[in-house]
């Protein structure tokens, strides 16, 4: 690294210009604070055109911008909502975020994005912070934790909407993929395409409701087809040693099943994009660029590299999920008292070379 000297002349040590307040504007316009406040809130019907003009001029002259903090303090509402994201490196989260932002824009809300980075402690801290900043509501894409850590939200606390994952013991609105239908869709697709050996690969799912639902639906779909039950491989991506153990097990299965001539290939059903990526990287390293001729890969989530790799996916309606979550939250903020609602959106199967006939 190189910290180079200033490329531009040093700025003159301007006195940290104190921002103008409503009082300054009032004085500048030769009137009282109230009129300024009225002007700011669009109550023009109560302002003479003449006064209004003077105020406009004063505001422009002072480059005045109302202090939202003070506003919120008085009003009791600040139009802020929190968006707590478990893992921004997962493209799913970013896509949901876009829906959230669009909806906020439309509803006059301001989303504060907080990134827990898969750390329970971070989640706790941010939740605490959002609470002390008195956001009007939160959208929570929670880590797989129990209700305890999200004490301040939900029932007695500030309004909350869950995204993708439910939290044990917390009654709140919930928006996400219809995991059951999606996993079934994927499983049936693989069966239709003639894959006999299907393995569902998922991160530890005991504490994450969406993963659990996907596993369950996979098992059910396999049973419905007469299979005893599907094989499931749990891959804890946070533990590299465990991952390698799991992948070794997978390799053995592939080798033993795959040996017999033109036997149908093994199919892997990844529960989400991070898992799919890890699998693809491993298979690519082990079997070379042609790994897809030995193993088919299907994944829930449709990251941008899926098209490049040619793997089949089930795309989530991420944008809609985010948008809907904000709508739910907005209704709550406006005082809706209905019981906890669920909104389950369907996934879309995108067939690519990996499972094409």
Q: Which stretch binds DNA (CB under 7 A): 35-43, 147-155, 158-166, 183-191?
A: 35-43
Tokens of 39: 């002007």
Q: Which residue has the tokens 């004490």?
A: 151
Q: Kindly tell me which of 75 and 146 has the beta carbon lying closer to DNA.
A: 75
247 touches, from a second copy, DNA, none (C-beta below 5 to 8 Å by class):
none
The 259-278 site mask, x for binding a second copy (CB under 8 A), equals: ------------------x-
Residues 6+ away with beta carbon under 8 Å from 141: 83, 84, 85, 86, 93, 96, 162, 163, 164, 165
Applying the rule CB under 8 A, the residues between 97 and 156 that interact with a second copy are 97-98, 101, 110, 112-115, 117, 128-129, 131-134, 152, 155-156
Quick one: CA dihedral 93, 210, 234, 270, positive or negative? Answer: negative
Q: Which stretch binds a second copy (CB under 8 A): 43-51, 95-103, 188-196, 199-207?
A: 95-103
> What's the CA angle centered on 113, arms 154 and 70, to 5 degrees?
80
Q: Which stretch binds DNA (CB under 7 A): 16-24, 156-164, 240-248, 255-263?
A: 16-24
For 169-204, b/e burial (b = at least 16 CB within 10 A) is ebebbbbbbbbbbbbbbbbebbbebebebbbbbbbe
Question: Binder to a second copy among 145, 147, 346, 350 (CB under 8 A)?
Answer: 346
What does R_g of the chain's alpha carbons equal in angstroms?
A: 27
CA distance 131 to 152: 7
Question: Binder to DNA among 53, 56, 61, 67 (CB under 7 A)?
Answer: 67
4 touches, from a second copy, DNA, none (C-beta below 5 to 8 Å by class):
a second copy
Tokens of 169: 């013991």
The nearest distance, CB 30 to DNA, in angstroms, is 7
Question: Binder to DNA among 40, 112, 257, 340 (CB under 7 A)?
Answer: 40
Q: Kindly tell me which of 86 and 191 has the beta carbon lying closer to a second copy.
A: 86
Q: Kindly tell me which of 71 and 341 has the beta carbon lying closer to DNA.
A: 71
CB 257 within 8 A of CB 266: yes
N-terminal to C-terminal alpha carbon distance within the chain:
52
DSSP state of 174: E
The nearest distance, CB 296 to DNA, in angstroms, is 58
Instruction: Tell me if residue 290 falls in helix, strand or coil.
Output: helix
- Interface residue list for DNA (CB under 7 A): 18, 21-23, 30-38, 40-41, 45-48, 50-52, 66-67, 70-71, 73-76
């Amino acid at each position: 690294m190189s910290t180079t000297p200033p490329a531009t002349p040093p700025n003159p040590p301007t006195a940290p210009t104190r921002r103008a307040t409503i009082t300054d504007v009032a004085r500048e316009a030769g009137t009282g604070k109230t009129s300024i406040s009225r002007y700011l809130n669009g109550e023009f019907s109560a302002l003479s055109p003449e006064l209004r003009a003077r105020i406009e001029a004063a505001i422009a002259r002072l480059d005045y911008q109302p202090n939202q903090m003070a506003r919120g303090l008085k009003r009791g509402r600040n139009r802020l909502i929190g968006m707590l994201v478990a893992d921004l490196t997962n493209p799913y989260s970013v896509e949901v975020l876009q829906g959230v932002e669009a909806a906020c824009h439309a509803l006059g809300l301001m989303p504060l994005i907080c990134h827990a980075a898969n750390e329970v402690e971070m989640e706790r801290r941010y939740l605490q912070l959002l609470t002390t900043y008195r956001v009007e509501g939160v959208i929570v894409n929670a880590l797989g934790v129990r209700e305890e850590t999200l004490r301040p939200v939900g029932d007695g606390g500030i309004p909350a909407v869950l995204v993708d994952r439910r939290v044990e013991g917390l009654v709140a609105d919930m928006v996400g993929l219809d995991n059951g239908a999606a996993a079934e869709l994927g499983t049936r697709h693989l069966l239709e395409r003639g894959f006999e050996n299907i393995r569902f690969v998922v991160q530890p799912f005991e504490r994450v409701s969406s993963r659990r639902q996907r596993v369950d639906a996979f098992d059910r779909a396999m049973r419905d087809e007469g299979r005893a039950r599907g094989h499931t491989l749990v891959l804890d991506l946070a533990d590299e040693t465990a991952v390698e153990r799991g992948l070794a097990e997978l390799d053995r299965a592939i080798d033993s099943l795959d040996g017999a001539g033109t036997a149908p290939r093994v199919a892997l059903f990844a529960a989400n994009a991070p898992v799919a990526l890890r699998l693809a990287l491993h298979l690519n390293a082990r079997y070379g660029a042609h790994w897809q001729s030995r193993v088919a890969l299907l994944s829930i989530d449709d990251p941008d590299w899926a098209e490049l790799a040619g793997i089949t996916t089930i795309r989530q309606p991420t944008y809609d999920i985010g948008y809907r979550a904000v709508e739910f939250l907005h209704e709550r903020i406006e005082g809706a008292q209905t019981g906890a609602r669920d909104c389950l959106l369907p996934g879309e199967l995108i067939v690519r070379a990996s499972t094409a006939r």
